[in-house]
Amino acid sequence: MPDKQAKKILVINGSPKREKSFTMTVTRAFVEGLEQETGSTAEYVNISDMNVIPCRGCLSCWGRTAGECVIKGDDIPMLKSKLEEADFIVESFPLFFFGLPGTMKVVTDRLLGMLSTYRGEMRSDDDEQYHRLRVQKEGQRFAVISSCGFSESAEVFAPLKGQIDLILGKKGYTMICCPELKALIDTGKERKLPMYLSKIRNAGAVFAKDGTLSDEMTAELSKPPFQPQTYRMLTENFWKEQEGSGTHDKNSG
């Protein structure tokens, strides 16, 4: 008999680096916590492996075709059905120019038909989203995990957060921002990184139980791992090495 309680976990990896993604190091730990707590196994989708035709901007999905996109023959319908069936959706991607990486944006645009139409309605408060999902599985929860190279987490993630707030509503998702992540992965293997990943694993378990994380917890997990002077020295050394090496580091960025 199928387990009625089995939860579906969908992880969307939006880093062009696929498995080598730094963000995915954090996401995998979060998902471990989520899997342990739910007893389910997550399904992973790499955006960079998908065939996605960009949105044509016709808005048919909001009128004529009621939720259906007119573009056929690519991987968006497959992603759409996975999104509709998932209990937990975890989006993982790097911060590119203070926002979504282009590939993630192209996919997001194609999902417009999943949202209800905008009919001039005003939001009654700042927490509300502009769009409702046409179909949403009961209890479905979203988490966003993103990483970047800069230190000032609140400031550099603000444009991205503002965009997701308007789409999903401030209370419609949980977000963990990981500043200075490459340096943490490169230099913190002994102590700092395992400690951080253990906190992230715990956050995944809390997210599975409560469907959200407290503001205190996300703030704690989004703090830069290094003191400003240390980070400046680490980045200075990194770029000096890169500039002198004459080689191309496929995993930098």
Residues that bind ligand FMN (CB under 6 A): 15, 17, 21-23, 94-98, 147-150, 156, 181-182, 253
CB of 173 to ligand FMN, least distance (A): 19
Q: Which is nearer to ligand FMN, 149 or 169 (CB)?
A: 149
b/e burial code for range 203-240 (CB count within 10 A of at least 16 → b) = bbbbbbeeebbeeebbeebbebbbeeeebeebbeebee
CB of 185 to ligand FMN, least distance (A): 9
Tell me phi and psi for residue 12, to 5 degrees: -105, 115
| Alpha carbon distance 181, 118 (integer Å) | 37
Whether 26 contacts 200, CB under 8 Å? yes
Residue among 113, 177, 114 at smallest CA distance from 140: 114
CB of 44 to ligand FMN, least distance (A): 14
| Alpha carbon distance 172, 158 (integer Å) | 16
DSSP label at 172? S
Contacts of 77 by beta carbon, 8 Å cutoff, 6+ apart: 69
Q: Which is nearer to ligand FMN, 104 or 208 (CB)?
A: 104
Q: Which is nearer to ligand FMN, 23 or 38 (CB)?
A: 23
CB of 187 to ligand FMN, least distance (A): 14
CB of 18 to ligand FMN, least distance (A): 9
Q: Which is nearer to ligand FMN, 16 or 113 (CB)?
A: 16
Q: Which is nearer to ligand FMN, 86 or 95 (CB)?
A: 95
